[in-house]
Amino acid sequence: MALFDVPTRATKEDDSKIAKKAKAKAPTTKKSSGLLGKIESIRAMVENSLGQYKDEYIIINTKDGLHNYIDACIDSNYISIDTETTGLNPLVDIIAGICIYTYGQKGAYIPINHVSYITGEKSANQLDKDIIIYEFNRMIDYRPNIDMFNATFDIRVLRHFGISRAYCSWDAQLASRILNENELKGQGGLKALHNKYCLNGQGDAFKYDDLFKGIEFTKVPYNIGYLYAAHDPVITSELCNFQRKHLRLSSEREDIRRMAWVFHNIEMPMVNVVCDMEDTGIAFDFDVNNEFKIKYHKLLDDREKAFHDLCKEYQSEIDKYDVFDNPININSVPQLATLLYDIVGLEAPIDKKTKKPTRSTSEDVLKSLNHPIAKAILDYREFSTIVSTFIDKLPECVHTDGRIHCKFNQYGADTGRMSSSDPNLQNIPSHNKEIRHMFKASPGYVLMSSDFSQQEPKCLAALCRKQGDEQMYNTFMEGKDLYSEIASKAFNKSYDECREFNPDGTTNKEGKERRTQAKSILLGVLYGRGTKSIGEQLGCTEEKADAIKNSVFKGFPAIKQFEEGSLEMAHELGYVTTVCGRKRRLPDLQLEEYEFKWKDNKCPYDDPLDFTMTESLPVPEERANYYRKGLTHVYFKQRQKLLAEADKEGIQVIDNSKKIADAKRQCVNSRIQGSAADLTKLAMIKLHKNEHLKELGFRMLVPVHDEIIAECPEENAKECSELLAKTMSAAAEQILEMPIKCDVEVTKCWYGESIEL
């Protein structure tokens, strides 16, 4: 409470008492069933648990009341905004009301579309839409600081309501991701974050989210709902104020200044970019989809038939089991496991985690089985995923405007990379180009896709340069191909002997092979792949892959130094950074390989009569060291024997080796992937702000990692494509301080036939 001048909230104990009291008073008659009963329960709960806060929040439902409140926002140059809606899709769901707060005023709720839960008619005493739009636009003219939580959603809701110039200055959700991307995984909502940082974990009385589940907020009487709704902009403001103290461009700490730079120059400007892309959507081609339905369903049927044909060889054995459908259900894991391990007689592989044989039918296991039936299952699954996830499902995602409007998760990955959902347009299999043909340009428009050439290796070069090694940077500045240069140094061959093509344009077979090996090693390091995985990609043994890797490291020591330097940074600081200063925290690297605690938290030496004891005694260091030493570098049987001994002693052994190994793999990958994400976002911001591109009708549609899909009127294709490439390159070059080329392809549909300009 020292941080903020905020009302005292009820403690968890008080809250529990209030809830029980409200439950006891809630109506329980038959008359209270259905919607009416739920509203009555909400009324009772709110009045009993939140009634003490009635004077702290207000309803604004008069013209003068809104005008005066907006004047206060203008005077303080500040407002916190939240919206209440009937759902999570701004294109189709209805706004129930707007929640606002400014300094010196009470949290307020502006009801807009509340209706009677009995008659369905619009409730009385709600302001006209035009009055609300006028007052908010009047405020926006003064460009006040605006706080929100999950700004993309609220901005789009306000836009579709009619406040077209809505914006956000500080998004508490994005700020929380910048400050700690691991924060409250799975429960990083406004109330959880506010509770942790502004209420010291004590909680408050405003936690009845479940009350409103299954009922549209428009049907909640606003004289009940306002207490709950008007609370959100207040706690949004409190959370933002807390964050502002810890995310300052003027901080004495360089790491904080760089994080603040990422927040203010990348994440916040990206909000409007995301809003526009989500509202724009991308056109869907139903004719192509219908063709694919016929084609891919047949391909799926053919693969299922191929599977059943292979099973005929074992039919006599299959008939002896009563677990199978007739024919075998290719989608049933138990049936496939019985077929593969009991009838075909394949040896069950050892599970890496449990160290025991597994009857799994996962993709990795099926690949390792190396049997025609296993391959047939994999072939079937590949097409089954395409059919169910894309061919059949995508038409259901099309809005009434004929376009798919997916959600872009601006901070989708912990590295800062964007993701998409509802539907996910970034997980379309890369090897199947034609699936993307279902997405087309708007009538009279063309699609254009542009991606950075060698974006990730150039991010590596820039990061190595920051560490004092300019070898890669110089290679790029000299105009050389990095992979050929690495191969040249690694295999002690001339640069020309390691190029993919000869001067006359013909393929240089030996040079291509050397270049491919060097490229696989470099990208393997960047993506955190082990030598076994690299060997599989190169089609060689793990030993040979390791030898090639050592040659590459010897010829280009910057790669190894960067790998080791990133791991050292993570160990020392607990995090790694991108080229722009974004942090990726890796706390698992700080873990002990083995941790020890008493099973069920009960120490066999605890005195059951000692009532002052609040927690179990720790495992003695002597015993912990005994098992820690014994479990290091031992064979499977020895390990199992030690674990059994510990179990008998009542000690639970927690093996963190997998977590630590995963964190190690993420050290380099997080820096490279995060840097690439920074560059792509900066490019998108530059494109979005380019006024000439707007005049030409250019609009971004979908980002796919280092690639940007956009569209523009066909007559402006040449000028837009040139400006697209130039703007993207300039945005990245400003950070990398080296040239980076962007290749643009113009088509009528995504990955369709190129159009010559």
In a shared domain, residues 203 and 116: yes
Q: pLDDT for 67-93, tens place per residue?
A: 999 999 999 999 999 999 999 999 999
Overall average pLDDT of the 12-27 stretch? 41
Which of 679, 669, 680, 704 has its CA nearest to residue 584? Answer: 669
258-267, 288-297, 556-565, 633-642: range with lowest mean pLDDT = 633-642
The answer on pLDDT for 604 being more than 80 is: no
Write out the two tokens for 552.
């590459």
CATH code for the domain of 323: 1.20.1060.10
Entry pTM: 0.89
In sequence order, what DSSP letters do the residues of 144-170 get, joined into one string? -EEEESSHHHHHHHHHHHT-TT---SE
Q: CA 307 → CA 304, 370, 372, 552, 746, distances in Å?
A: 5, 15, 9, 43, 41
Which of 7, 119, 110, 5 has its CA nearest to residue 63? Answer: 110
In a domain, 540, yes or no: yes
User: Could you give the residue ranges of the DSSP H alpha helices within 390-469?
Assistant: 455-466
Torsions phi, psi of 711, nearest 5?
A: -145, 160
The answer on pLDDT for 10 being more than 60 is: no
pLDDT attached to residue 31: 39
In a domain, 265, yes or no: no
Whether the CA torsion 27, 32, 33, 37 is positive or negative: it is negative
In a domain, 72, yes or no: yes
Q: pLDDT for 692-725, tens place per residue?
A: 999 999 999 999 988 999 999 999 999 999 999 9
Which residues, in sequence order, are CB contacts of 29 under 8 Å at separation 6+? none
Q: pLDDT for 153-209, tens place per residue?
A: 999 999 999 999 999 999 999 999 999 999 866 666 899 899 999 988 777 766 656
In a domain, 301, yes or no: yes
How far is it between the farthest Cα atoms of the chain? Answer: 89
Query: What residues does 452 pair with on adjacent strands?
Result: 742
The answer on pLDDT for 21 being more than 60 is: no
Question: Considering the chain, what is the average pLDDT of its residues?
Answer: 89
pLDDT attached to residue 6: 31
In a domain, 734, yes or no: no
In a shared domain, residues 226 and 374: no
392 near 301, Cβ under 8 Å?
no
347: three-class secondary structure by DSSP: coil
Whether the CA torsion 285, 290, 291, 292 is positive or negative: it is positive
In a domain, 517, yes or no: yes
In a domain, 46, yes or no: no
DSSP-assigned letter for residue 506: -
Write out the two tokens for 747.
């088509």
Q: CA 645 → CA 18, 209, 616, distances in Å?
A: 50, 48, 20
Overall average pLDDT of the 361-374 stretch? 92
How many structural domains does the chain have? 4
In a shared domain, residues 513 and 550: yes
In a shared domain, residues 550 and 602: no
In a shared domain, residues 241 and 294: no
Beta strand residue intervals within 294-416, DSSP E: 403-404, 407-409
Write out the two tokens for 405.
């409007």
Its domain, for residue 61, covers 53-247
pLDDT attached to residue 373: 96
In a shared domain, residues 223 and 298: no
Cα 140–272–95 angle (5° rounding)?
65
482: three-class secondary structure by DSSP: helix
528: three-class secondary structure by DSSP: coil
Q: What number of other Cβ atoms are within 10 A of residue 186's Cβ?
A: 6
In a shared domain, residues 470 and 615: no
Beta strand residue intervals within 144-249, DSSP E: 145-148, 170-171
In a shared domain, residues 492 and 619: no
The answer to whether the bond into 327 is cis (omega within 30° of 0) is yes
pLDDT attached to residue 22: 38
Q: CA 185 → CA 177, 180, 189, 207, 414, distances in Å?
A: 10, 10, 10, 19, 11
